[in-house]
């Protein structure tokens, strides 16, 4: 069987799993029957797409949403995966292509609308196709009592039995009754392995800090936790070595760890860390896989992590024993610039680069959050929660100002241009810039043109970035990262709600250059 992590990186372009994904992927790939409950937006599709690539044979994906199926098939094909759909929306050519790929034994994922299962030929087709896994999206559609009931979903259980293959069911609906009904109807009552994840790790204290003498900041953080086991993540190998030296000079017990070391030396660090109390490992992201030390008391990032997923995974190594643990993540303009250029100069296709920028924006939104950081973090994974009382922003709320007018102007610029542009062009409109693009699109004729001259470009960037942190706008990967307004922004636009933003970010905006849409 193929390994999950290289596929995650090379095919999907993700640097880390989201919470819960890794365990589900492994169970599904191992051929277990699985029922996974994850919030919408939590990343369910990866949990069957990745196992489909790890396993031999074809994975049938049953989903009620034709548009969504077509999107997923297109995205998979763009990533070089042989995938196809049989839906009522197909052209005859598309259907032929699916059958040909099946014939050649090349198809890995076959998406099917449930209605298709009603056709007499479906079962024979799937049997001949060498189906080795059934994945059911929106599994709650099997529930007769829910409002999404799809009668054809009731055929899936029988299909599983005749094909004799494992089934993985996914839904965002968590209530016990619906779960029981899914187990009855899809698994014939035989208990699947269940995954129901809360993503929160409430014992981990979250904190971010703008870099301001980062070496000293890390030394201070470690000094306040002397004698406790901790990890410092760094962006480069060289930095792990120099920072470990600085910590040792300050009478800590520290060693470094990175992918450039001999396997033997790395193992030595791993064993020391597992056995010794109070060792600090200064490491690149190479350190982490397979570390299951329960009493890591703190994790610090000397540089901004790659994504929210990486951040969550890395801080998540602390406090596995459930006792309080602390984290500190430093970020500065150089991190942002570096990450941007890594994305821009990488070899990834344009669509993926756009998505990577969007993910980085989300991380920046977390870094510059206005109120409870954990709420922002959990919302990113689709989970709602109240203020946590265990993060730096709950501890010390930042100074804010009423930004309602500024945000309304920004939203209006987005809507007047029909949600087709990124923040760079929108800011040009707001500040009344004279560019080719503005002239070509006649955006200087818009009522919003030049209506935001009270802020300069960098200040507007800070406003847009914070708007993203508040989930008022979201970059749309389908539109090359163009910003689209979310439902959350509607009341502000209508004048029914007000919004505050962080003052420090606006005032210090010129210390955060190189932030672009
Ligand atoms: P769901 O089906 O649970 O509503 P999706 O499968 O559509 O959610 O995933 C939501 C978003 O999260 C998608 O844009 C997807 O690309 C992204 N995503 C999923 N897994 C990861 C990951 N490990 N790292 C980064 N982004 C991810
Ligand atoms: Zn909080």
For ligand 1, is residue 352 a contact (CB within 6 Å)?
Answer: no
Pocket probe mutation, ligand 1, options 24, 43, 172, 356, max atoms within 8 Å of Cβ:
43
Distance CA(114)–CA(62), nearest Å, equals: 6
Ligand closest to 36 (CA) is 1
At residue 128 the predicted structure's pLDDT band, cuts being 50, 70 and 90, is confident
Share of the chain above pLDDT 90, in %: 68
Chain centre distance of CA 217? 28
pLDDT attached to residue 508: 44
Q: What are 262-294's pLDDT values in tens digits?
A: 999 999 999 999 999 999 999 999 998 778 899
Contact yes or no for 246/369 (Cβ under 8 A): no
pLDDT attached to residue 134: 97
Q: Which residues pair with 281 in a beta bridge?
A: 231, 255
For ligand 1, is residue 455 a contact (CB within 6 Å)?
Answer: no
For ligand 1, is residue 19 a contact (CB within 6 Å)?
Answer: no
**Is 313's pLDDT higher than 70?**
yes
Strand, coil or helix: what is 284? coil
Give the position, in ligand 1's atom list, of the atom nearest the Cα of 137. 2
Strand, coil or helix: what is 361? helix
pLDDT attached to residue 512: 36
pLDDT attached to residue 505: 53
pLDDT attached to residue 474: 75
* Average pLDDT of the segment spanning 47-72: 95
Pocket probe mutation, ligand 1, options 17, 37, 46, 47, max atoms within 8 Å of Cβ:
46
Q: What are 208-240's pLDDT values in tens digits?
A: 988 889 999 999 999 999 999 999 999 999 999
Q: What are 403-428's pLDDT values in tens digits?
A: 999 999 999 999 999 999 988 999 99
Give the position, in ligand 1's atom list, of the atom nearest the Cα of 44. 3
**Is 488's pLDDT higher than 60?**
yes
Q: Is the predicted ipTM greater than 0.95, yes or no? A: yes
Farthest-apart Cα atoms in the chain, separation: 75
pLDDT attached to residue 365: 86
For ligand 1, is residue 135 a contact (CB within 6 Å)?
Answer: no
Q: What are 66-97's pLDDT values in tens digits?
A: 889 999 999 999 999 999 999 888 899 999 99
* Average pLDDT of the segment spanning 340-363: 83
For ligand 1, is residue 40 a contact (CB within 6 Å)?
Answer: yes
Contact yes or no for 293/320 (Cβ under 8 A): yes
**Is 261's pLDDT higher than 60?**
yes
Give the position, in ligand 1's atom list, of the atom nearest the Cα of 45. 6
The token pair at 318 is: 């602390």
At residue 489 the predicted structure's pLDDT band, cuts being 50, 70 and 90, is very high
CA distances from 45 to 69, 286, 349 (A): 10, 26, 21
Q: 21 alpha carbon to ligand 1 midpoint, in Å? A: 10
Ligand closest to 65 (CA) is 1
pLDDT attached to residue 278: 95
Q: Who wins on pLDDT, 477 or 419?
A: 419
pLDDT attached to residue 509: 35
Distance CA(452)–CA(117), nearest Å, equals: 56
Q: 45 alpha carbon to ligand 1 midpoint, in Å? A: 7
pLDDT attached to residue 52: 98
According to DSSP, the β-strands at 131-136 and 167-171 are: parallel
pLDDT attached to residue 309: 92
Distance CA(198)–CA(472), nearest Å, equals: 24
**Is 507's pLDDT higher than 80?**
no
Distance CA(405)–CA(411), nearest Å, equals: 10
Which residue has its alpha carbon closest to ligand 1 atom 26? 14
For ligand 1, is residue 38 a contact (CB within 6 Å)?
Answer: yes
For ligand 1, is residue 474 a contact (CB within 6 Å)?
Answer: no
Contact yes or no for 424/392 (Cβ under 8 A): no
For residue 126, count other CB atoms closer than 10 A to its CB.
22
Give the position, in ligand 1's atom list, of the atom nearest the Cα of 21. 23
Give the position, in ligand 1's atom list, of the atom nearest the Cα of 8. 23
Contact yes or no for 384/41 (Cβ under 8 A): no
Q: What is the mean pLDDT of the chain?
A: 90
Strand, coil or helix: what is 34? strand
Distance CA(479)–CA(419), nearest Å, equals: 9
Ligand closest to 4 (CA) is 1
Taking Cα atoms as reference points, which of 37, 59, 66, 72 lies closest to residue 150?
66
Q: 29 alpha carbon to ligand 2 midpoint, in Å? A: 36
Give the position, in ligand 1's atom list, of the atom nearest the Cα of 38. 3
Which residue has its alpha carbon closest to ligand 1 atom 25? 14
Exposure pattern of 255-274 as b/e (b: 16+ CB <10 Å)? bbbbeebeeeebeebbeebe
Indicate the pTM of the whole model.
Answer: 0.76
The rounded radius of gyration (Å) of the Cα atoms in the chain is 25
For ligand 1, is residue 309 a contact (CB within 6 Å)?
Answer: yes
Candidate from 70-84, 253-267, 323-337 with smallest mean pLDDT: 323-337
Distance CA(390)–CA(372), nearest Å, equals: 8
pLDDT attached to residue 459: 85
Distance CA(38)–CA(54), nearest Å, equals: 22
Distance CA(236)–CA(258), nearest Å, equals: 9
Ligand closest to 372 (CA) is 2
For ligand 1, is residue 138 a contact (CB within 6 Å)?
Answer: no
For ligand 1, is residue 41 a contact (CB within 6 Å)?
Answer: yes
Contact yes or no for 117/147 (Cβ under 8 A): no
Distance CA(448)–CA(438), nearest Å, equals: 12
For ligand 1, is residue 42 a contact (CB within 6 Å)?
Answer: yes
Sign of the torsion formed by the C-alpha atoms of 502, 503, 506 and 507 = negative
Contact yes or no for 306/248 (Cβ under 8 A): no
In 434-486, which ranges are continuous DSSP H helix? 436-440, 457-469
Distance CA(272)–CA(266), nearest Å, equals: 10
- How open is the CA angle 85-89-95, to the nearest 5 degrees? 45
């Amino acid at each position: 069987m193929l390994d999950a992590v290289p596929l995650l990186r090379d095919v999907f372009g993700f640097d880390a799993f989201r919470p819960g994904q890794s365990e589900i992927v492994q169970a599904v790939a191992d051929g277990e029957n699985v029922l996974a409950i994850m919030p919408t937006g939590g990343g369910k599709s990866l949990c069957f797409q990745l196992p489909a690539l790890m396993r031999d044979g074809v994975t049938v994906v049953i989903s009620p949403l034709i548009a969504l199926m077509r999107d997923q098939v297109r995205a998979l094909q763009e990533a070089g995966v042989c995938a196809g759909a049989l839906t009522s929306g197909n052209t005859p050519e598309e259907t032929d292509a699916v059958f040909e790929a099946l014939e050649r034994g090349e198809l890995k994922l076959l998406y099917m609308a449930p209605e298709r299962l009603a056709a007499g030929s479906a079962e024979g087709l799937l049997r001949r196709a060498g189906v080795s896994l059934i994945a059911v999206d929106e599994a709650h559609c099997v529930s007769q009592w829910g409002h999404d009931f799809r009668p054809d979903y009731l055929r899936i259980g029988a299909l599983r039995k005749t094909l004799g293959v494992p089934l993985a069911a996914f839904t965002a609906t968590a209530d016990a009754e619906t779960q029981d009904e899914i187990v009855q109807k899809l698994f014939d009552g035989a208990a699947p392995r269940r995954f129901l994840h809360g993503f929160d790790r409430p014992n981990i204290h979250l904190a971010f800090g703008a870099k301001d003498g980062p070496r000293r900041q890390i030394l201070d953080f470690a000094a306040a936790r002397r004698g406790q086991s901790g990890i410092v993540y760094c962006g480069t190998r060289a930095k792990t070595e120099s920072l470990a030296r600085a910590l040792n000079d300050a009478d800590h017990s520290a060693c470094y760890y990175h992918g450039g070391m001999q396997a033997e030396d790395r193992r030595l660090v791993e064993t020391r860390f597992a056995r010794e109390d109070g060792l600090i490992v200064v490491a690149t992201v190479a350190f982490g896989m397979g570390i299951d030390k329960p009493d890591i008391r703190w994790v610090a990032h000397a540089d901004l992590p790659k994504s929210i997923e990486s951040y969550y995974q890395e801080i998540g190594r602390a406090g596995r024993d459930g006792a309080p643990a602390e984290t500190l993540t430093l970020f500065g303009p150089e991190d942002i610039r570096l990450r941007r250029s890594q994305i821009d100069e990488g070899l990834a296709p344009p669509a993926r680069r756009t998505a990577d920028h969007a993910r980085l924006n989300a991380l920046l939104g977390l870094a510059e959050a206005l109120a409870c950081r954990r709420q922002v973090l959990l919302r990113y994974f689709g989970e709602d929660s109240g203020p946590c009382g265990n993060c730096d922003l709950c501890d010390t709320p930042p100074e804010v100002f009423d930004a309602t007018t500024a945000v309304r102007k920004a939203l209006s610029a987005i809507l007047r241009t029909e949600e087709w542009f990124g923040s760079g062009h929108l800011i040009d409109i707001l500040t009344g810039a004279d560019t080719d693009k503005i002239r070509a699109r006649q955006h200087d004729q818009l009522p919003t043109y030049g209506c935001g001259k009270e802020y300069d470009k960098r200040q507007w960037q800070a406003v847009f970035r914070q708007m993203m942190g508040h989930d008022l706008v979201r970059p749309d990967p389908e539109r090359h990262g163009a910003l689209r307004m979310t439902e959350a922004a509607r009341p502000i636009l209508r004048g029914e709600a007000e919004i505050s933003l962080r003052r420090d970010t606006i005032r210090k905006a010129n210390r955060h250059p190189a932030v672009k849409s």
